[in-house]
Amino acid sequence: VDSAEIIAVGTELLTPIRLDTNSLWLTGELADLGITVRAKHVVGDDRADLAAAVRQSLDRVDLVMTTGGLGPTHDDITREVVAEILERPLVEDAGVLEGIRERFARRRRPMPEINRRQAMVPVGGLVLANAHGTAPGLWLEANGRVIVLLPGPPRELQPMFSRHVRPKLADRSAPSRTSRRVVLVAGRAESQVAEAVEPLQARFRDRPDPVAMTILASPGRIELHLRATGADGSAREAALEAAAAAVVEVLGAAVVSTDGQSLEAVVGQRLADRGWTIAVAESCTGGLVTGLLTDVPGSSAWVRGGVVAYANTVKVDQLGVDAGTLAAEGAVSEAVARAMAEGVRARLEADVGLAITGIAGPGGGTPDKPVGTVAIALSGPREVARTFHFGGDRQMVRQFSTAAALDMVRRAIDPT
């Protein structure tokens, strides 16, 4: 198996309400296995459209994967359409039926009769167990082609692929010739990073195991995607290691991680290493920073809490910011950010206090403090206060602010 097409099935995927993320995820997994995805398709829950897509894909590539449409309702048609194309009659599988019954029994509910449809298996098909839902997946082979049917919900599809499909595909594809690594950078503009790493590009390319580098920027965070190619896996790893080290050399402390760890995870790690806790006072970010900090598993060990201090009265009453300072300096000022950081640290009894106050826009800017002006302060291990001038719309300013605040904490706590 070396080429694949992915067909995402679901009428909702053809509307603005839902994006096909399954094929994105699968493309990464297949690339890992050295299988090239030649095309991705999105089709609605329509028999003729799906049949046409499957037929065309079977003509072009040796692996066709579908996602979605394996459920029990009448608009879930993938199983039937594929069985028809392969001319395989559908037969009820007693084992699958029992599994579905048990799943309902565990929830103390009778199995609705329509779920029986999910126990229908095309003759010769291999059933892929679904640990997180009722719809089993299917692996089929015909005329030298492999056809894999996977359920739509990502939390069902991903473990099913990893557990049952990936090992089978690995057996049938040439050993992978690429390895990847992501270097995460914060606190630098994309152009700065691009300029700094530019001289490395040629060096990486000319290695015996060449490493290609792509830059992916989002507000406040820049990812350098490194991809090494070569026949030998450990040589590729060594090439990635050397490339990551070279990036660290030119970017220094701006490098957050070289192993795929997120900014918030690195901050959490550094706090955990010291046994420190953090409390956050947020104005223009409205809780985004605390949200990200608590995204990290285990964060209850280092996050004390946060105060969304949007109104001036909340800054005064809940955080103890001096009303005089507020009036004199304005809500968006280093003095107020500093007072917010101190206040939240003291009142929430944390080791580190972090505060963000700014103008996200579109309104509220002045010639003095235009939209994008954001003051961020840290209290505790070090006293830091800084004013940033971010570009972009409201959403971007909030994201830049969030990343900059987390990065301020990261830089203030040296790695152990």
Q: Residue 178 binds which entry of Mg ion, ligand ATP, none, with Cβ cut-offs from 5 to 8 Å by kind?
A: none
From its phi and psi, is residue 110 left (phi > 0), alpha (psi between -120 and 50) or beta? beta
* Least distance in angstroms from the C-beta of 22 to ligand ATP: 4
Backbone φ, ψ for residue 4 (5° rounding): -140, 155
How many residues belong to the site for Mg ion (CB under 5 A)? 2
Task: Find the binding residues for ligand ATP in span 55-84 (CB under 6 A).
Answer: 67-71, 76
**Residue 402, number of CB atoms within 10 A of its CB:** 28
Between CA 328 and CA 44 the distance in angstroms is 60
156 binding Mg ion? (CB under 5 A): no
Which region among 19-27, 253-261, 314-322, 403-411 touches ligand ATP (by CB under 6 A)? 19-27
Closer of 20 and 209 to ligand ATP (Cβ): 20
CB 193 within 8 A of CB 203: no
Among 1, 13, 186, 385, binds ligand ATP (CB under 6 A): 13
CB of 50 to ligand ATP, least distance (A): 11
Tell me if 135 contacts ligand ATP by CB under 6 A: yes
Output 69 or 380, the one with its CB closest to ligand ATP. Answer: 69
* Binding characters for Mg ion, 56-75, by CB under 5 A (x = yes): ---------------x----
We find the least distance from the C-beta atom of residue 287 to ligand ATP, in angstroms, to be 26
Interface residue with ligand ATP among 152, 219, 230, 353 (CB under 6 A) is 152
Q: Is 20 in the site for ligand ATP (CB under 6 A)?
A: yes
Shortest gap between Cβ of 302 and Mg ion (angstroms)? Answer: 40
Q: Residues in the chain, how many?
A: 416
Of 308, 302, 310, nearest in space to 280 by CA: 308
Q: If binding is defined by CB under 6 A, does position 136 make contact with ligand ATP?
A: no
Of residues 19 and 231, the one with the C-beta less far from ligand ATP: 19
Distance CA 25, CA 17 (A): 19
Give the residue closest to Mg ion by C-beta. 71
36 Cβ contact list (under 8 Å, min separation 6): 2, 3, 4, 30
Q: Which is nearer to ligand ATP, 27 or 312 (CB)?
A: 27
Q: For the CB of residue 73, give the shortest distance to Mg ion in the complex, in Å.
A: 6
Q: Which residue, chain included where needed, has tokens 């950081």? A: 341
Closest Cα partner for 118 from 72, 66, 150, 151?
Answer: 72
Which one of the spans 48-56, 146-154, 301-309, 379-387 is the region binding ligand ATP (CB under 6 A)? 146-154
45 binds Mg ion (CB under 5 A): no
Compute the least distance from the CB of residue 20 to ligand ATP, in Å. Answer: 4
Kindly tell me which residue out of 5, 20, 45, 76 binds Mg ion, with binding defined by CB under 5 A.
Answer: 76
What residues between 177 and 216 interact with Mg ion by CB under 5 A?
none
65 within 8 A of 135, measured Cβ to Cβ: no
Q: Segment contacting ligand ATP (CB under 6 A): 5-13, 31-39, 277-285, 371-379? A: 5-13
> Got the DSSP string for 82-99?
HHHHTT--EEE-HHHHHH
Residue 245 Cβ vs Mg ion, minimum distance, rounded to whole Å: 47
Q: Which two tokens stand for residue 109?
A: 């509910």
Alpha-carbon span 333 to 311, nearest angstrom? 15
How far apart are alpha carbons 346 and 90 in whole angstroms?
67
Which of Mg ion, ligand ATP, none sits in contact with 340, Cβ below 5 to 8 A by type? none
Nearest distance in Å: CB 157, ligand ATP: 8
Q: How far is the CB of 150 from Mg ion (least distance, A)?
A: 12
d(CA 53, CA 232): 37
Neighbour tally for 321: CB within 10 Å? 27
Q: Are 364 and 340 in contact (CB under 8 A)?
A: no
Instruction: Choose among 386, 380, 382: nearest CA to 404.
Output: 386
Among 10, 136, 268, 380, binds ligand ATP (CB under 6 A): 10
| DSSP track, 329-386 | H-SSSHHHHHHHHHHHHHHTT-SEEEEEEE--SSS---SSS-TTEEEEEEESSS-EEE
Provide the binding-site residues for ligand ATP, judged by CB under 6 A. 8-10, 12-13, 18, 20-22, 67-71, 76, 133, 135, 151-154
Provide the binding-site residues for Mg ion, judged by CB under 5 A. 71, 76
